[in-house]
Amino acid sequence: MEMDAQLLARAVGARVKHERKTRGWTLDRLADTAGISRRMLINVEQGAANPSVATLLHLSEALGVGLPALVEPPSERQAKLTRRGEGALLWSGERGGQARLVAGADRPDNVELWDWSLAPGDRHESTAHTPGTRELLQVQHGILRVHTGEESYELGPGDALSFHGDQPHAYVNDSSETTHFVLTVVEPSLGRSGGKESSHE
């Protein structure tokens, strides 16, 4: 069953608040460390906001907690099954595209597995991730254009691309049919604060 947006917002808020209080951080400290406004952080913790992927990534980096851990309840099971259509829906395109975080791990590095669809005309802009981040994707259906840095790549069904995610990049579907691709993000744990005083910037 698809994770309801309101339930997801509440789960994220509870996890962020728990992680912040565990570290003894004030709202101001986490907001400053994550580079978001205090008001946004309050809304996130209260489950009153559906934060963007960028906001979630900022919070993830500031707390040293992998994005999958922020959007999933803790589990002691060694295996987690996610059926087709399930997973945390973290992005919706204006034309109908979607991005779901379907699996992840945060030890030793943060690894995310995403299921993406881009409707015709959909475009997703992504800010630079933590230094050393790599993204690996494979197109399952349709045509995908990936912009990374000064380069642009066009991929068709079965084509794969690996690139540095620590620079601004974009996924674009300028074709007339829906594009579907799977994406893996590998973010090194080095540089994430994890509650320590070291900088994550």
CATH number of the domain encompassing residue 47: 1.10.260.40
Whether the CB-CB separation of 173 and 143 falls below 8 Å is answered with yes
The pLDDT value given to residue 9: 84
**Distance between CA atoms of 102 and 13, rounded to whole angstroms?**
19
Out of 39, 71, 103, a domain closes at 71
Placement of tokens 């590998």 in the chain: 186
* Local mean pLDDT, 10-residue blocks, the chain (201 residues): 67 87 91 92 86 86 83 66 86 91 80 96 92 95 96 97 95 97 86 35 27
The pLDDT value given to residue 184: 97
Query: Domain range spanning residue 17?
Result: 5-71
CB burial readout 85-116, b (16+ within 10 A) else e = eebbbbbebeeebbbbbbbbebeebbbbbbbb
Question: Checking phi first, is residue 76 left (phi over 0); if not, alpha (psi -120 to 50) or beta?
Answer: alpha
Amino acid present at 74: P
The pLDDT value given to residue 4: 67
User: Is it true that the peptide bond before 68 is cis, omega within 30 degrees of 0?
Assistant: no
Domain CATH code at residue 150: 2.60.120.10
What does pTM read for this prediction?
Answer: 0.67
The pLDDT value given to residue 52: 84
DSSP H or E segment with residue 145: strand 144-148
Nearest to 188 by CA among 113, 126, 115, 106: 106
The pLDDT value given to residue 138: 98
Number of domains in the chain: 2
Residue 197 falls inside a structural domain? no
